[in-house]
Structure 1
Amino acid sequence: MSAKRSLGQVLARQWIAFALVLATCFAAMGLVLLYILEDGFIDDRLAGVAAGIVRLDAARLPERFEAFSPQQAPAGLARDMRGSRPGSIREFRLDDGRYVHVLAGRSPAGDDYFLVYDVSDQLRVNQALAAAWPWLLAMAAALVLISWLLSRALVVRIARRARGLIAQIGASTDPDALKAFAAREEIAEFSQMARWAADSWSARLQALALERETLGFLGHELRTPLQSARTSLALLQDDPGNQGAWTRLQRAQDRLLRASQSVLWLASDAEPPADARCGVRKVLDGLVEEFAPLAQGRGQTLELACAGDLHWALPGEVAETVVANGLLNAIQHGGAGRISLQANPTGLVIENPRPAEASTSGFGLGLSLSARLLARFGWTLERTEPDGRVRLHVQSPPIGRGPECATAG
């Protein structure tokens, strides 16, 4: 693998290449201009001599000039001038090797002729190029050296800013510091690079926080039912007919099942099933029956309002997990009194009295994890506190934006 180049080296080489290409283009333009000027001087001389021709047989021509009638012109000259109009000028090399400019003229007497000007030794540009190429090579080498020196002076600032950006990204203690640096950076590309690095860092921290939250849920949600299961098994060993122990064991099993199903949904990258449906009344009846003894022990009563044919566009385990968490929130963190569950085609509302010291922290899965779980299916979770009560609203997505709630027909 080839060695990595620094930004300064890359920019310096590009600057040198740019300077060479630019100089070459200007040199080519200058050379073309010289050729045009040279041809212009030659053609002007040719036209001046032609203006003095009155009769072809009596014309007195300067050195290197010749005049021929079309009938007497050499074969090569006649061939190359075929079809030319009076006054037009062509340049070409004759069969004998001479390079000539030829004007097709017509005398005042009406005689057509070809005026030939031999410019073989008049091409000053070609002669100068043949003599000056060593100087041109020296000038090109000097240009490379000057370009390198200029690149050192011009590129050093950009290279220093790039090193500063790398150092800042490596030394930043948090994404906010990196975002502040991006806001101060004057070069747009460097600012965008720092902002992307900060956004990537923030996303990674958020992902770690979500994983930590999920692990915390596992630790809490698994510990309590496992302890309850061990206690129930110990009681059943002494008294296999202990109905209370069997009930607590069943409750612990249900909670462990909900916890495992919730983690699987949260950790899965698979698309949620579009045809998921669950019978709401069956889910709510089972949860009310499960948590009624716990609510009675805290001076609370559970009231359920739900149509028997109501269905939600959610998997049954997801609906059970979220409602169970909300119900546990209401029982464990709410005050004594009535806890109402009102189900409808668009969601569920759980209301409970607010205790003297209300807390937004959830029991078990928690509000944030419940919201994450519902978001997988386009649903939302909102917690409000109107008129001394705590309201938890589970809301289905608007029509056309996710799974819809429906009643069975």
Structure 2
Amino acid sequence: MEFKQSLSRRIVIAFVLMTALVGGTFAIGIVETVHLVEERLISSELGGDLDRLLKMESIDEWRHRPEPSQLFHFSGGRGDFALSEDLQNLPPGFSELFRDNHSYYAYVHLVDGRRYVLMEDQSEFEEREQLLFAVVLVGFLLSLGLSGLLGWLLARKVIEPVVRLSGQVGHPDQLLERAPQLAPDYAEDEVGRLAASFDITLGLLRRALMRERLFTSDVSHELRTPLMVVASSCELLLESPELSARSRTQVQRIARACEEMRELVQTFLLLARSTADGVAAESQAGLREIADGLVEQWRPLIESKGLVFDYQPADGGQQTYNGPLLRSVLGNLLRNAWHYTEQGRIELRLGGSGFVVEDTGVGIPAAEREAMFQPFVRGGAARGEGLGLGLSLVQRICESQGWSVELADAVPRGCRFEVNLAK
């Protein structure tokens, strides 16, 4: 299972766990050692006291009593010296026993078949043990708290260059051609080597981005000349009175396709330059204006396929948008609906802050929807020669402009694309 804690938290946890392991081992060792030493000392003391008692006068005439905290019992003893039942099965040597909610240390000695037992109340020893346990426990808890604090301070110190490096790598200026190197700001340690690796990777990324931008710019620039030639030729052909009606229709389709290609070239160029806000004033347009133009372009194609094209315009106010990019978004969604709808209808509804394109086509399964906005991805029911770039282009344009696009099911079937143009 993947450990998903932050690196600083991992350091703190490691410190606390290490302290708990080492401190707990020492605490248990101290308690056990003290307990063992205490037993040995008391065993030796009780054994010595019992030997001294047995060296006195005969037991029948024994009148000396042990220490006030001690109890003496033996086989055949009378009164307080009688050997009770719980003492008769104690093994020779040192033992512990409980009597009347009290704990005792007992030492048993066998002489000529007779059993002698010397007992001592261990309440005082237990109090000392409890005090020792409390001191050890408090020390253990304090060591855990101090280790957590030390781990936190050390984590901040250790993580600080990593956090700084992360911020530098994630800064948009790092993709600029003349962005400064990161490695000189760090020592020649693991973080420094990581910064050097980032320098290499970012350098490769900058060169790749530059090649992409140059390629897009060059292609966009070079395509303009042949497109102008095609557009001019179409205009000249349309002015010819000898052109038949069928040929005129075909030339008009070529002219529309040429204009669409010109707009796509402009769209790609704007995306390559990443100048979402630096658009010329003459390229701004309203949603209704762009929608009306695209409806005029797409209605014949949609209706020639036997489909119903339902266009519901609305007053979009005075808000204007990037004309080429908005036209590309709406045009790609209409093309997608036309391509994947064989029967039924296609609907375009304008709203105050966006529009909806809905169709009765094959639809897109819920499991495939997220991937449909990736480049070169087509639905399972894809047909034709498309490359799967239309929805990817729509997503890229919306992201660059601060718009949003959502895909859902249409009723009773098909797809529903909703684009919100509000930033």
TM-score (norm 1): 0.41
TM-score (norm 2): 0.40
